[in-house]
Amino acid sequence: MPIQWFPGHMTLARKQAADAMADTDVVIEVLDARLPEASSNPMIHTLRKHRSRPCLKLLNKADLADPAVTQQWLDHFAAQPGVTASALSCKKPSDVARVTRLAQTLAPHRNDNLKPLRMMVMGIPNVGKSTLINALLKRRAANVGDEPAVTKTSHRYDLSPQMYLVDTPGMMWPKIEHDSDGYMLAASHAIGRNAVIDEEVATFLADLLLARYPGLLAARYKCDVQDMDGVALIETIASKRGYRIKGGAADFEKASLALLQDYRDGALGRISLETPAGRAAMLAAGHGASEPDASDKAKD
């Protein structure tokens, strides 16, 4: 089932962002390091290109992502004009401290009280924008929640007399073009649960992880995953953890939620759901659900 999710407040959020872009020097786009391209809103690219604004792409949650794949994404973004990219965890003060320095390099002419550096933080829901802002301010100013779309209006925060930033609501786009993007976003909890079927998302995630990280799954669930498909893995999780429904059958829903939570919490290990090469192959093939081939599999 293709996944789409575009709550009504996001139409207003897009208009507010377009208006604010005129008074912005640098766009800070927060991405999920585990799926950097799937978590990049194409509307953000369109808005900043219209105003010719440079972009600092922050691959957040890098502590949960495969470091080798993250480096591939950093190299990929570094080749794009007007873009600087950095991997970080918003929970690490040393990582957060780099953000304003990197943004300043993209607009060196904005560096005093008369011309403060004006930054706008953008990204999809639940990717860590509010956590980043609170870390930059060193206080809790932006609302943080485990559910997507906590922030619904824009806010301005002064970091110093020489710089300020504007926090924008998490924005999705009206139509997710590739089915696999929708599933990866749902697995990473960027899409509201009312728009997805957890068992389908978990099955997609299980199939992908079996292809890319079988060793991590075997270690986590203490089982031989060879020749398994996603359904079999989730049934095995149910058996291993004693998840049963009335009559003794496997509780597939509960086991699906367990797999999704393990992935989101990093309990499986450091995982990336997409690579630049795999993304390019998917686009070249012209279909929505990419299957990682042997050349795109990560080593455990």
Q: Are 144 and 207 members of one domain? A: no
Q: Are 158 and 213 members of one domain? A: no
Q: Are 63 and 109 members of one domain? A: yes
Q: Are 163 and 201 members of one domain? A: no
Report pLDDT digits (tens) over 140-154.
776 554 554 445 567
CATH at residue 258: 1.10.1580.10
Rg (CA), the chain: 20
In a domain, 183, yes or no: no
Mean pLDDT, residues 101-123 taken together: 93
Environment class of residue 246 by beta-carbon count within 10 Å: exposed (0-12), middle (13-18) or buried (19+)?
Answer: exposed
Rounded mean pLDDT of the chain? 88
Mean pLDDT, residues 186-209 taken together: 92
Q: Rounded distance, CA 89 to CA 61, Å?
A: 5
β pairing state of 163-167 and 155-160: antiparallel
Q: Rounded distance, CA 29 to CA 235, Å?
A: 38
Report pLDDT digits (tens) over 10-32.
677 788 888 889 999 999 999 99
Q: Are 253 and 135 members of one domain? A: no
Q: Are 96 and 19 members of one domain? A: yes
Which letter, b or e, does each residue of 219-229 get, where b requires 16 or more Cβ atoms within 10 Å of its Cβ? Answer: ebbebebeebe
Q: Are 18 and 131 members of one domain? A: yes
CB atoms under 10 Å from CB of 245, counted, come to: 12
Q: Are 18 and 150 members of one domain? A: yes
In a domain, 50, yes or no: yes
pLDDT, residue 168, reads 85
Which residues, other chains included, contact 240 with Cβ-Cβ below 8 Å and sequence gap of 6+?
A: 221, 222, 223
Q: Are 222 and 156 members of one domain? A: no
In a domain, 176, yes or no: no
* DSSP per-residue codes, 234-261: HHHHHHHHT-B-TTS-B-HHHHHHHHHH
Q: Rounded distance, CA 133 to CA 140, Å?
A: 8
β pairing state of 83-87 and 55-60: parallel
> Would you state the structure tokens that stand for residue 264, as one six-digit string?
């989101």
In a domain, 297, yes or no: no
Mean pLDDT, residues 170-186 taken together: 88
pLDDT at 298 over 50: no
In a domain, 51, yes or no: yes
Environment class of residue 28 by beta-carbon count within 10 Å: exposed (0-12), middle (13-18) or buried (19+)?
Answer: buried
Counted domains in the chain: 2
Q: Rounded distance, CA 291 to CA 293, Å?
A: 6
Owning domain of residue 206: 197-283
Report pLDDT digits (tens) over 220-247.
999 999 999 999 999 999 999 999 998 8
Q: What percent of the chain has pLDDT over 70?
A: 88
Alpha-carbon dihedral sign for residues 270, 275, 278, 282: positive
Q: Are 134 and 18 members of one domain? A: yes
In a domain, 211, yes or no: yes
CATH at residue 117: 3.40.50.300
In a domain, 188, yes or no: no
Report pLDDT digits (tens) over 43-72.
999 999 989 999 999 999 999 999 999 999
Q: Rounded distance, CA 172 to CA 174, Å?
A: 7
CA–centroid distance for 119 within its chain? 20
Mean pLDDT, residues 116-139 taken together: 92
Q: Are 53 and 162 members of one domain? A: yes
In a domain, 43, yes or no: yes
